[in-house]
Structure formats: C-alpha cells, structure tokens
Amino acid sequence: MRWSLPRGELVADDDGSYDGGQSTVGSSDSAEIQELMIMAARKQFQSNLTTSAGLKRALDEARSKIFTEAELREQRISFAYGNAMDSELITKESVREAAQNMRLIRQS
C-alpha cells in the first residue's frame, strides 16, 4: 500500500512495516504516517450509505446462483486477462487458448 505525503512517497505494508529506508520521507514523519493509517482505517465507517432494495435483491440472488463449468472457465479467463501484463500480444482469445493448453501436475 502506498501513502503519498507532501514531501515524498513512503511504501508501507499492511502490518505497518516500511520499505527498509528506501522511502523519501524521514523518520520524523512517523506520527504523521501513523495518523494517515488510522484515518484510512476509519474512513470505511464514516459513511451513511444505504443499499437500495433492488441492489439488495440482486446481491441475494447472486449469492445463491450456482455457476456452470463453462461460466467458471470464462470467469477464470477474464480474471487472467484482466491481470495480464499490458501488451498488444495478449488478447482475451490468446488467454483462452493458453488456458486450454495448460495442464496441472499433481505432486505425490
């Protein structure tokens, strides 16, 4: 996770550890960093959003849907394509072809 500060950028892990001194902010900024982390953690609870009845109904229906093997395969292909490197050589069809040729090996 990255925290941007006015004097530079600091890379902090979820457990609060930092990038081994490679950051551009000094250790004197640790109180400010801790405050930013606390603010970010609390932000999700500062909303008064409500869920519409239609969205709630759609979510309930989605929870009980049973997916076919074909739907699951397309979901995996879509996930792989979405997480692939940005390249003109990688298309959804090329990911689909690679998925057909991929074999899993069981270790015994």
Q: pLDDT tens string for the chain (108 positions)?
A: 444 444 444 455 555 555 544 445 455 567 777 777 776 666 666 677 788 999 999 999 999 999 999 999 999 999 999 999 889 899 999 999 998 888 777 777
Q: What angle do CA 27, 28, 31 make, to 5 degrees?
A: 100
Domain that holds residue 65: 53-101
Task: Determine the pLDDT at residue 41.
Answer: 66
Domain membership flag for residue 106: no
* Residue whose tokens read 């890379």: 11
Counted domains in the chain: 2
Domain membership flag for residue 33: yes
59 and 93 inside one domain: yes
93 and 65 inside one domain: yes
Length of the chain: 108
Task: Determine the pLDDT at residue 100.
Answer: 87
Across the chain, where does the E strand assignment appear? Answer: 2-5, 8-11
Longest CA–CA separation in the chain, Å: 55
**Phi/psi of residue 8, nearest 5 degrees:** 155, -160
The distance of Cα 24 from the centroid of its chain, to the nearest Å, equals: 25
Q: What angle do CA 45, 46, 49 make, to 5 degrees?
A: 90
